[in-house]
Structure 1
Amino acid sequence: MTRNLLIFVAGGGSFALLAGAYLFQALGYPPCAMCLWQRWPHMAAIVIAALALRFGGRALPALGAAAAALTGGLGVYHTGVERGWWQGPTSCSGAGSLQGMSGADLLAIEGPRVVMCDQVTWEFLTLSMASWNAVVSFGLMAIWIIAVMKAKGSSRTA
C-alpha cells in the first residue's frame, strides 16, 4: 500500500467510526460523556488525514497515530469503567451526584435520557461500543504508523 492509501484508510476508518457513533445516536442510543470524549480524536484524525494527503512528511501521520492511540486509550479506560475494573468520573458513573438538579427535574416524567458511563447500552460479541472503539482505533494507529514509516522527510510521496 502506498503512503497516501494508508492515510486515506486510517482517516476513513475514523470517519466510519464517527458515522457509526452518530448512527447509533440517531437510532436511540445517546452517548455518555466518555463516549463523546472518544469522538474528538477521531475528528482530529480526519482533519489530519486531509492535511497529510496534501502535505508530505512524517509529522502529520505521526499526529494521526497519536490521535488514534488517544481514542483507543480512552476506549480502554471507558471499557474498564463499564466492566467495574476501575472507577470512572463521578460526573457520569453510578457515583455521580445530583448537584444542579431541582426537585422538579427529579420528578419530571419526561426529559433527556441520562446515560451513565459505567453502563453498557449496546454490545456485540461481548464487546461494548467503547471496547470496539479501542480495538479498531489501535488498528488504525498501526496503519498510521506504517504511513509514517513510508513517508520520506518533508517531501510529498505517494
Structure 2
Amino acid sequence: MTSNAAAHPSQGHAAINPALAAALAVTAIAAATLAGAWFFQLVLGLVPCPLCLEQRYAYYLAVPLGALVAVAAAKDAPRGVVLAGLALLTLAALGNAGLGAYHAGVEWKFWPGPTECTGPVGNLGSAGNLLERLDTVKVIRCDEVQWTFLGLSLAGYNVLISLLMAAIALWGLVSARRA
C-alpha cells in the first residue's frame, strides 16, 4: 500500500457504485416490507383490504427489478439501462406513496374509497344459503384501520417506506448520471 493510499483508505478500494448501492437498498427495503406485510397477514391474522393488496404491487415490482438493476450496475451494463431501471424504481415508489396516501385518506374519512371495499356488501346469493355465505365471506373494508403504531396505520407506513425507496432510487439515479 502506498503512503497516499494509507492516508486515504477509500482510494485503496474501488469507489462505491451509487447505482448498485441504491438498487440493493431498494431491493432490500421492498423485500423486508413484503415480508412484514405477509407477517401481519399470516401470523397476526390481519386480512388485507383491496387497497392494501394493490399497494403490494410496487414492492412485487421493486424486488426483481431492483435486483436486475443491481446486477446491471455491478456488471457495468450500459448506463442508460441502469438509469432507466432506477427511474422506473423511483416512479413505482412515488406512485405507491400516492396510493398509500389515498388509502390513508380513505381511512381518515377525508374522501370516499372505492365502492368495492367501502360500500355495502353485495349479492350474497339466495336466501336459502345466506347464513352459510355470511359465515364464509369476510369483507375487509378499506376505510377501517386494522392496526396502528404511533398514530399511523399500515397505509401511512407504506407512504413513508415508499418515499424512502423513491429517495434512495432517485439518489442513485442522480449520482449515477454524474459519474
Code of the aligned partner of 2:150: L
Q: Which is bigger in relative contact order (C-alpha 8 A, separation at least 6)?
A: 1
Which residue of structure 1 lines up, in the alignment, with residue 9 of structure 2? none
Which residue of structure 1 lines up, in the alignment, with residue 110 of structure 2? 85
Render the CA deviation track for 1:88-121: whole Å, top value 9, x for unaligned: 100100x23413x213564236324221101000
Please tell me whether residue 122 in structure 1 is matched to residue 139 in structure 2: no
**Alignment: residue pair count:** 152
Relative distance call for 1:87 and 1:151 in structure 2 (3 A) is same
1:96 to 92, 117, 120: 120
**Greater mean deviation of Cα atoms: 21-30 or 105-114:** 105-114
Which residue of structure 2 lines up, in the alignment, with residue 23 of structure 1? 39
Larger of the two Rg values belongs to structure: 2
Q: Aligned partners of 1:151, 1:18: CA distance in 2, in Å? A: 27
Q: Aligned partners of 1:133, 1:92: CA distance in 2, in Å? A: 19
* Greater helix proportion: 2
Shift in Å at residue 2 of structure 1? 3.6
Code of the aligned partner of 2:30: S
Segments of 4+ in structure 1 off by > 6 A?
A: none
Q: Aligned partners of 1:136, 1:146: CA distance in 2, in Å? A: 15
Relative distance call for 1:106 and 1:77 in structure 2 (3 A) is farther
Q: Aligned partners of 1:129, 1:114: CA distance in 2, in Å? A: 18
Render the CA deviation track for 1:108-157: whole Å, top value 9, x for unaligned: 3632422110100001001000010011110110000001012249xxx8
1:1-158 to structure 2, matched below 5 A, reads 2-3=17-18, 4-26=20-42, 27-56=44-73, 57-93=82-118, 95-99=119-123, 101-102=124-125, 103=127, 106-108=130-132, 110-152=135-177
Q: Contact 1:90/1:97 (CA < 8 Å) preserved in 2? A: no
Code of the aligned partner of 1:63: L
Code of the aligned partner of 1:16: A
Q: Contact 2:105/2:111 (CA < 8 Å) preserved in 1? A: yes
Gaps of 5+ in 2: 1-15, 74-81
Q: Aligned partners of 1:21, 1:105: CA distance in 2, in Å? A: 34
Q: Contact 2:121/2:139 (CA < 8 Å) preserved in 1? A: no
- TM value normalised by structure 1: 0.88
Structure 2 residue matching 1:110: 3-state secondary structure = helix
Relative distance call for 1:106 and 1:2 in structure 2 (3 A) is farther
Aligned alpha-carbon RMSD (Å): 1.9
